Amino acid sequence: MSTDNINKQKKTAVVICPGRGTYNKEELGYLKRLHADKPELIKIIDDYRTQQGQQGISELDAMTKYSMRKHTAGENASALIYACAMADYQSINQDEYDIVAVTGNSMGWYIAMAVAGALKPKAAIELINTMGSMMTEGVIGGQLIYPISDENWREDSSVVQQIQLWLDEVNQSVEDEVHISIHLGGYLVFGGNKSGLAALEAKLPVVQDRYPMNLFNHAAFHTPLLKGTSAKAKSLLSNDLISKPDIPLIDGLGQIWQPYSADTDKLYDYTLDTQVVAPYNFSKAIEVAVKEFAPDKLIILGPGSTLGGAVAQSLIKQQWLELTCKADFISLQKTEPFILAMGLADQRKQVVIPS
C-alpha cells in the first residue's frame, strides 16, 4: 500500500449526542451562524412545530436576546438542541471520519436514534417534539446534579456509598421520593419530587460553591415518577415511527442496537418506557463505546460543550488510553485530542468539511 493511501485512511469515530441544558445564552444563533446551508432540516422541524401551534426553531434561534423561560422550556429546548446536533452531524467530514457507532446522553438518546437512522427526519421531530412537550402543563418533579469525583476527576467510591445511604434515608419518608436519574461521568443526576429533592439537598455537603445544583426547567426523567409520561407517550406515538438503525446505537443501559438485528418493537419499548422510567447510565454508554468499538476519536455534537468533562471522567474511570486523572486528559487533548467537541471552535475545525 502506498504512503498516500495510508494517509487517506479514515479515522474511526463514535458520535455522542447532547441532552437538555446544552443550548444556553452562548449558543443563541447557533443555527443561523453555523447552519444556514441546511434549510431542508430546519424547514421539516419548523413545519412540524407550526402544525402544533408552536414557535419555529429558526425564529427562536434568531432572537436578539436569550430567554431562560423560553429557550429552556422543554417544548423549545428539545427541538432546538435536536436541530443543532443533527445539523452538526451533517457537517462532519465523512471522507475523513468513519462513524462506527452513535450514543447520547438522556434526551440525546432520541437525537442518537435520528443520527443513526432509527428515526427518519419527520419521525424524529415528531418523537422529540412530543417528548419535549410533555411538561407544558406543569413539570413533574425536578432534577439535581452533584459531583462524585475528586479534583483529579477520579470517582470517589466513599462519596457514592454515602449518597446511597442518604437516598435510602430520604425515601423512608412517605412524602419524599428521589432516585438516581443519570450516571453522568463524575456526576450523579437525581430525579424526584420537590420535597424529596429538598430533603436530599439538605444532606449533601456544598462543594465547589455550586453543588448540589438544581437543574432549571428539568423534570424527573429516568425515574418511576415518569410512569404516566411513558404511558402517555406510547398512546401518542406509534411504534412504526421507529426503523432499524443504519449505524450501531448504544443506549443508556450500554446495550448495542445493531443495524441488521435490532428488534424495532423492543427499541420502541426501550425508548418510550425503559429509559423514561429507569436510570440512564451515560457513563456505561461511553465505556461500551470505547471498549467495543475502540474508536480513534469521540465526536461530541453541539450545541455547547458541557458533555466533554463527563465523557473524560468516564474514560478516566476505565483508564482508557492510560488516562488516570484530569491532568492526563488535559495533556492528551493538547497533544492529540481524543475528544472533539463541535461546540468548541478549535475542535470543530478538525471535524467539519473544509469550507
- Residues in CB range of 260: below 8 A, 6 or more apart: 244
CATH number at residue 166: 3.30.70.250
Residues 113 and 157 in one domain: no
Handedness of CA 338, 80, 284, 305 (dihedral sign): positive
Instruction: Find the helix packing angle between 307-318 and 282-293, rounded to 10°.
Output: 60
Residues 25 and 128 in one domain: yes
| Predicted TM-score of the model (pTM) | 0.95
Q: Give residue 263's identity as a one-letter amino acid code.
A: D
Residues 111 and 257 in one domain: yes
Q: Which of 225, 246, 272 is the last residue of a domain?
A: 225
For the segment 6-36, what is each residue's pLDDT rounded down to a tens digit?
Answer: 456 899 999 999 999 899 999 999 999 999 9
3 pLDDT above the threshold of 90: no
Q: Which of 14, 324, 330 is nearest to 149 (CA)?
A: 324
pLDDT at 138: 84
CATH number at residue 263: 3.40.366.10
Average pLDDT rounded to a whole number, residues 223-239:
97
* Chain centroid offset of residue 37 CA: 24
For the segment 78-90, what is each residue's pLDDT rounded down to a tens digit?
Answer: 999 999 999 999 9
Residues 95 and 162 in one domain: no
Residues 36 and 131 in one domain: yes
Tally the domains of the chain: 2
Chain position carrying cell 470505547: 290
Residue 175 structural domain: 142-225
Residues 234 and 221 in one domain: no
Chain position carrying cell 436530599: 200
Residues 94 and 126 in one domain: yes
Question: Per the domain annotation, does 1 fall within a domain?
Answer: no
For the segment 293-326, what is each residue's pLDDT rounded down to a tens digit?
Answer: 999 999 999 999 999 999 999 999 999 999 999 9
- Residues in CB range of 267: below 8 A, 6 or more apart: 113, 118, 242, 257
1 pLDDT above the threshold of 70: no
Residues 247 and 122 in one domain: yes
- Residues in CB range of 82: below 8 A, 6 or more apart: 45, 110, 111, 114, 124, 125, 128
Residues 119 and 20 in one domain: yes
List, as own/partner pairs, every contact residues 4-7 make where C-beta atoms lie below 8 angstroms and the sequence separation is at least 24, other chains included. Answer: none
Classify 233 as helix, strand or coil: helix
